[in-house]
Structure 1
Amino acid sequence: MDLRQHIRTVPDFPKPGILFYDISTLLAHGPAWKATVEQLADAVRPHKPDLLVGIESRGFLTAAPLAVALEIGFVMVRKKGKLPGETIRFTYELEYGSDTVEIQKDAIQHGQRVVVLDDLLATGGTMAAAIHLLRIAGADVRAAAFVMELDFLEGRKRLDVPVTSLVRYES
């Protein structure tokens, strides 16, 4: 199945000049979403993860059903202040400012193998920060996986783990 046919593009969102790749149409099409989860399972399974980690918020949509399919656990990386209990934080620089991601302190046991998921790989900044945070938490980060990748932004160059993207856009 060509997943690209189920991903809608929205011009000028969230601001003029940006072409937004919207997976809500993919999520709404049962057979296409099932094919997405199956393809991600095939890509992730060889890394033998103990846990899948999803990055807020669309990464949750990707990682949670995949964790069910692989019969393993799911953990969330969220923006600062969104998780209860003790957390581990990592602040990273953005093009204009900074952001902070967190994980619950007890979410990962030292040495657990994880694969990190998000819907889109663009510049790679958030994924690189999540990988760094997970390593601080003691995870053995095996790979990163995405539904889509914007090749022209070269985000995979910022990642030091194997990367899988089901759909890649050249421009």
Structure 2
Amino acid sequence: MTIAIGDKLPPATFKEKTPDGPVEVSTDSFFSGKRIVLFAVPGAFTPTCSLNHLPGYLENRDAILAREVDDIAVVSVNDVHVMGAWATASGGVDKIHFLSDWDAAFTKALGLDIDLSAGTLGVRSKRYSMLVEDGVVKMLNIEESPGQATVSSAAHMLEQL
């Protein structure tokens, strides 16, 4: 079953790269008492993710945060080192959180997993964006195709906020 507006996020633990090494980030600690924009990509360093989706959130970061949003995070089914390298390569370090869902546990719990084995990627996340308030989904935008970043884009999120 796919997560829906009004649902509480399932408990999960991400990994995030820091200057001191990888740290665990639980959904409870990250989302509790905060208003967070979360977006997901099928893979770090993949074309649509790196050339369209992520740059939109980096470029619109200040405008999003100005709309009473506490933080922005991107999640992907990649290991923490890949996510850390992507943060560095994209200029996103200290701007948004790059959360590794290394085993796809969070993605599967949301019901937003997709098998991209035909493209040699294996199990990944569908592309989506959501607004989460105190752990509860308030807005949810799921792309029909993993190669598109329109309804889950930063521009669309800004319109909704």
Give your verdict on TM over 0.5: no
Greater strand fraction, Structure 1 or Structure 2: 1
- Say which structure, 1 or 2, has more relative contact order (CA 8 Å, 6+ apart): 2
